[in-house]
C-alpha cells in the first residue's frame, strides 16, 4: 500500500455497486472534481443518476468489474458483498480499497468472529455451525436465547433467526437453508452504538463522534451523534475500531457496530468496512462527511476534520412510508433545520432504504423526539 499514489481532481474513482452509498459518494466526488464510474446492472440505479458514467453489470461479474477497473484510477465498494475473488481479479487491473484480503475476512461472519477473538476484542459468546451435531453443541455452548446467523450474505436482519427455546433450534437452521452458520448468545443490550472512523493510506486515522443507534425490525431507524454516552464510551469504542482497522490495513471508512450493556461493557457485533448508515449524520453535521473522507482515503489524500459542531439525528425513510403513495414530504420541508436526502429509487419497496432526514439542533433528546414525530407525520408506525 506504500505505492498508493495521491489522486486529485480529474482522477476517476470506480465504485462496485450503485446503491445509495455510492450515490452519496458520487455527489461528494462531483463537488471535489473527482469523476465516478459505477458498476450496476440497473441503468437507473441511485448512483448512476449522479455519476459520470456506468458500466452495466452486477458486482459479482468479474469480467464487468475488470472492464470498470480498466477505466479508473482506484476502485472502491458500495457493499461488502462483492465476492472476494471478483476483487482479486480487479486488483490485477487497478488499486482497490478495501482489498480482497480484508473483504474475504469481513464477508464471512465466522472469520470476523475469529478475527475479533485473535485481537482479544470483547464480543458475545459464539460457536461455528456446520451440521446438526455442531448446531446442538453450539447452542449448549452459547446458551438460550441465541441468534443463529448465516456465515455469508446477511444484512439488516436477513439471514438471521432468534432461538428462544431448544425445540426451535433445528427449525431455525432449516429456515436458513441449513447453510454454514454462526450461533451467538443473544445480547440483552441497553443500547446499540457504532464507531465510524477512517484510515488513510499512510495509516493516519480520524474518528467521528460515537453514534447511538435505534433499530426497528433489525433495520436502523434513527442515529444520534454524538451518542449520549460519548464522553464515557467514545474513547473505548474508538480504540476497538482502530484495532480492527489497523489489523485489516484498511484504507477508507470503517464502522464498528457495538452493543452497550447495562454494566457499561461494550461488545463488538459487526465490522462494516465501508461508509455506513450510522455515519450519515456526518453528511451535513460534520466538517467532513464520511463520503468525502472515504474518497480522500482511497485517493491517498490527507484526511479531513471530523468534528461535529452541533448534535444531529438521522431518521431513515423506508419504502413502507410510500406504501399508499408518496408520504407528505412537505412535513420535512416545514422544518427549517431538516435536510431531506432521497436516493432516487424508482421502486420504494417496504423495508428498502429510500432516503433519510437529517435534523440539526442543540438538544439531543428533543431531536430524537422530533424525529419520532416526523416519522409518524410521514405515516410511519
Ligand atoms: P447484524 O446483521 O449482525 O448487524 O444484526 C442486525 C441487528 O440484529 C443488530 O443491530 C441487533 O439489533 C440485532 N442483533 C444481532 N445480533 C444480536 C445478538 N447476538 N444479540 C442481540 N441482538 C442482536
Tens of pLDDT, residues 315-335: 999 999 999 999 999 999 999
Average confidence (pLDDT) over 285-294: 98
**How many other CB atoms are there within 10 angstroms of residue 341's CB atom?**
18
DSSP state of 82: S
Percent with pLDDT over 70 in the chain:
99
The pLDDT value given to residue 153: 85
Average confidence (pLDDT) over 254-267: 97
Q: What angle do CA 202, 94, 288 make, to 5 degrees?
A: 45
Alpha carbon of 33 to ligand 1 centroid (Å): 38
What lies within 8 Å, CB to CB, of 214 at 6+ separation is: 192, 220, 221, 222, 223
Banded model confidence at residue 86, pLDDT cuts 50, 70, 90 = very high
Residue nearest to atom 7 of ligand 1 (CA): 218
Q: Which atom of ligand 1 is nearest to the CA of 185?
A: 19
Average confidence (pLDDT) over 9-26: 98
Check pocket membership of 369 for ligand 1, CB cut-off 6 A.
no
What is the distance between the alpha carbons of residues 89 and 126, in angstroms, rounded to a whole number? 33
**How many other CB atoms are there within 10 angstroms of residue 166's CB atom?**
12
Check pocket membership of 367 for ligand 1, CB cut-off 6 A.
no
The pLDDT value given to residue 137: 98
**In testing the pocket of ligand 1, which one of 143, 269, 277 has its CB within 8 Å of the most ligand atoms?**
269
The pLDDT value given to residue 158: 84
Check pocket membership of 192 for ligand 1, CB cut-off 6 A.
yes
Check pocket membership of 215 for ligand 1, CB cut-off 6 A.
yes
Banded model confidence at residue 3, pLDDT cuts 50, 70, 90 = low
Tens of pLDDT, residues 97-145: 999 999 999 999 999 999 999 999 999 999 999 999 999 999 999 999 9
Q: End-to-end alpha-carbon separation of the chain, Å? A: 48
Query: Is 193 within 8 Å of 233 (Cβ atoms)?
Result: yes
Check pocket membership of 218 for ligand 1, CB cut-off 6 A.
yes
What is the distance between the alpha carbons of residues 213 and 193, in angstroms, rounded to a whole number? 5
Residue nearest to atom 8 of ligand 1 (CA): 218
Banded model confidence at residue 155, pLDDT cuts 50, 70, 90 = confident
pLDDT at 2 over 70: no
314 bridge partner residues: 223, 358
What is the distance between the alpha carbons of residues 143 and 331, in angstroms, rounded to a whole number? 46
Alpha carbon of 269 to ligand 1 centroid (Å): 7
Find cell 452504538 and name the residue: 193
Percent with pLDDT over 90 in the chain:
96
Tens of pLDDT, residues 169-208: 999 999 999 999 999 999 999 999 999 999 999 999 999 9
Check pocket membership of 157 for ligand 1, CB cut-off 6 A.
yes
Check pocket membership of 292 for ligand 1, CB cut-off 6 A.
no
**Mean pLDDT, all residues of the chain:** 96
Average confidence (pLDDT) over 75-100: 96
The pLDDT value given to residue 4: 65
Residue 287: what are its φ and ψ, rounded to 5°?
A: -60, -45
**In testing the pocket of ligand 1, which one of 147, 273, 351 has its CB within 8 Å of the most ligand atoms?**
147
pLDDT at 58 over 60: yes
Domains of the chain by start residue, with CATH: 12-96 (3.40.50.20), 125-185 (3.30.1490.20), 191-377 (3.30.470.20)
Find cell 444484512 and name the residue: 155
The pLDDT value given to residue 1: 40
Amino acid at each position: 500500500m506504500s505505492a498508493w499514489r495521491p489522486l486529485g481532481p480529474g482522477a476517476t474513482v470506480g465504485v462496485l455497486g450503485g446503491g445509495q452509498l455510492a450515490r452519496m459518494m458520487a455527489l461528494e466526488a462531483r463537488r471535489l472534481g473527482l469523476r465516478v464510474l459505477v458498476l450496476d446492472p440497473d441503468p437507473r440505479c441511485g448512483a448512476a443518476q449522479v455519476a459520470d458514467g456506468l458500466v452495466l453489470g452486477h458486482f459479482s461479474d468479474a469480467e464487468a468489474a475488470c472492464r470498470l477497473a480498466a477505466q479508473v484510477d482506484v476502485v472502491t465498494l458500495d457493499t461488502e458483498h462483492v465476492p472476494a475473488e471478483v476483487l482479486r481479479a480487479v486488483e490485477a487491473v487497478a488499486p482497490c480499497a478495501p482489498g480482497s484480503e480484508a473483504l474475504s475476512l469481513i464477508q464471512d461472519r465466522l472469520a470476523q468472529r475469529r478475527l475479533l477473538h485473535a485481537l482479544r476484542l470483547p464480543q458475545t459468546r459464539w460457536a461455528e455451525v456446520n451440521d446438526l451435531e455442531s448446531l446442538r453443541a453450539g447452542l449448549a455452548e452459547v446458551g438460550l436465547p441465541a441468534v443463529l446467523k448465516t456465515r455469508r450474505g446477511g444484512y439488516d436482519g436477513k439471514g438471521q433467526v432468534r432461538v428462544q427455546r431448544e425445540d426451535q433450534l433445528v427449525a431455525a437452521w432449516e429456515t436458513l437453508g441449513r447453510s454454514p452458520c454462526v450461533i451467538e448468545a443473544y445480547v440483552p443490550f441497553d443500547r446499540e452504538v457504532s464507531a465510524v472512523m477512517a484510515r488513510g493510506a499512510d495509516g493516519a486515522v480520524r474518528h467521528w463522534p460515537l453514534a447511538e443507534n435505534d433499530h426497528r425490525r433489525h433495520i436502523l431507524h434513527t442515529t444520534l451523534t454524538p451518542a449520549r454516552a460519548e464522553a464515557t464510551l467514545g474513547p473505548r469504542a474508538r480504540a476497538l475500531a482502530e484495532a480492527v482497522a489497523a489489523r485489516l490495513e484498511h484504507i477508507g471508512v470503517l464502522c464498528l457496530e457495538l452493543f452497550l450493556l447495562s454494566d457499561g461493557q461494550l461488545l463488538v457485533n459487526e465490522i462494516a468496512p465501508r461508509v455506513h448508515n450510522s455515519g450519515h449524520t456526518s453528511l451535513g453535521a460534520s466538517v467532513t462527511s464520511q463520503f468525502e473522507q472515504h474518497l480522500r482515503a482511497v485517493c491517498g489524500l490527507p484526511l479531513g476534520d471530523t468534528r461535529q459542531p452541533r448534535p444531529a439525528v438521522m431518521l431513515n425513510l423506508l419504502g413502507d412510508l410510500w406504501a399508499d403513495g408518496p408520504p407528505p414530504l412537505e412535513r420535512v420541508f416545514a422544518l427549517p433545520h431538516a435536510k431531506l436526502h432521497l436516493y432516487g429509487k424508482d421502486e420504494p419497496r417496504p423495508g428498502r432504504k429510500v432516503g433519510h432526514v437529517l435534523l440539526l439542533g442543540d438538544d439531543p433528546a428533543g431531536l430524537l423526539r422530533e424525529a419520532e414525530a416526523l416519522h409518524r407525520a410521514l405515516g410511519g408506525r
